[in-house]
């Protein structure tokens, strides 16, 4: 693949939130997982785990759990001064799950903070230093794995939606999928064959999000080399 083709693949990816009622094969899901687990991770610890759900009854239970958690928090917020603040936005937390024919729950686990242990063993206070626990390394790695999975899904013609919404029902979902400590649910990915072609969303221009710290490149024909 040429560099520009990869960039084009990345550019054309967009979140898909509505899917056809057509199964995603296990072979295809295995390819997505292969892409996911090639992600980098701190000292290659690969702190991720994937719960792959295609069974309709389990998917239904995941949706119901999320619906129920949304109802609870919505009811609570309704008693406050901003009852309508999220209005139709509630669907954002669950809707993509409803038509997805495959759902992936991604979990991560933290490893012992080696640097903090070494500092403590040396008789010092780890709180005086920035040690591994402050780096969010495991979350970063699991997020990188999700991103690779999303790109592979897109390359395969699948649609996908990375979702935090189901985290509202984290306890119930972890129970259903037997996700137990030290594992923690990071999020979900709704997957399926897109009901409509993905439409890329706008991005802030680079000038707004990038700051360069670069070497001054000598102007062609300039006298940079002889200077100083
Ligand atoms: C951590 C994370 C959580 C997200 N949670 C949801 C969600 O719960 N529901 C949803 O519909 N989209 C969710 N999204 C998708 C974003 O809304 C989407 O990526 C963003 O609007 C940019 O659009 P694009 O993915 O099409 O480029 C989430 C994305 C990320 C990275």
Kindly calculate the radius of gyration of the chain based on its CA atoms and give it in whole angstroms.
22
For a mutational test of ligand 1's pocket, the pick from 108, 164, 166, i.e. the residue with the most ligand atoms closer than 8 A to its C-beta, is 164
142-183 confidence digits (pLDDT tens): 999 999 999 999 999 999 999 999 999 999 999 999 999 999
Q: What is the DSSP string of 9-28?
A: HHHH------B-S----HHH
Q: Which ligand 1 atom is the nearest neighbour of the CA of 199?
A: 26
pLDDT band at 21 (very low <50, low <70, confident <90, very high): very high
Tokens of 108: 């991560």
197-212 confidence digits (pLDDT tens): 989 999 999 999 999 9
Is the minimum distance from the CB of 147 to ligand 1 under 6 angstroms? Answer: no
**Cα of 15 to ligand 1 centre, how many Å?**
7
Give Cα 202 distance to the centre of its chain.
19
Is the minimum distance from the CB of 191 to ligand 1 under 6 angstroms? Answer: no
Residue 59: which H helix or E strand, with range? helix 56-78
Q: How do the domains of the chain map onto residue ranges?
A: 3-201
One of 2.70.50.30, 3.40.50.720, 3.40.50.2000, 3.40.109.10 is the CATH number of 3-201, namely 3.40.109.10
**Cα of 14 to ligand 1 centre, how many Å?**
9
Q: Kindly report the length of the chain.
A: 228
Name the pTM for this structure.
0.93
Q: Are 97 and 53 in contact (CB under 8 A)?
A: no
Which pLDDT score, from 0 to 100, does residue 36 have?
A: 99
Looking at residue 91, the DSSP 8-state letter turns out to be G
**Cα of 162 to ligand 1 centre, how many Å?**
6
Tokens of 197: 């072609």
**Cα of 189 to ligand 1 centre, how many Å?**
10
Which pLDDT score, from 0 to 100, does residue 224 have?
A: 52
73-132 confidence digits (pLDDT tens): 988 988 988 878 877 778 999 999 999 999 999 999 999 999 999 999 999 999 999 999
């Amino acid at each position: 693949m040429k560099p520009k083709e990869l960039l084009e693949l990345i550019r054309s990816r967009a979140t898909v939130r509505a899917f056809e009622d057509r199964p995603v094969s296990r072979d295809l899901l295995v390819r997505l997982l292969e892409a996911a687990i090639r992600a980098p991770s701190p000292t290659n610890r690969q702190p991720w785990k994937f719960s792959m759900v295609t069974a309709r009854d389990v998917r239904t239970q995941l949706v119901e759990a999320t619906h129920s958690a949304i109802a609870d928090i919505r009811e609570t917020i309704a008693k406050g001064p901003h009852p309508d603040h999220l209005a139709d936005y509630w669907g954002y937390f669950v809707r993509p799950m409803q038509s997805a024919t495959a759902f992936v729950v991604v979990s991560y686990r933290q490893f012992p903070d080696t640097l903090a242990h070494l500092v403590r063993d040396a008789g010092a206070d780890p709180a005086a230093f920035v040690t591994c626990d402050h780096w969010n390394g495991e979350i970063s790695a699991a997020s990188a794995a999700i991103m690779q999975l999303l790109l592979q899904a897109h390359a395969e013609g699948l649609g996908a939606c990375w979702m935090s919404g189901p985290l509202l029902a984290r306890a119930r979902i972890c129970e259903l999928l037997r996700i137990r400590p030290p594992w923690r649910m990071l999020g979900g990915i709704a997957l399926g064959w897109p009901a409509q072609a993905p439409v890329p969303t706008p991005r802030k221009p680079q000038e707004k999000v990038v700051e360069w710290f670069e070497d001054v490149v000598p102007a062609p024909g300039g006298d940079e080399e002889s200077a100083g």
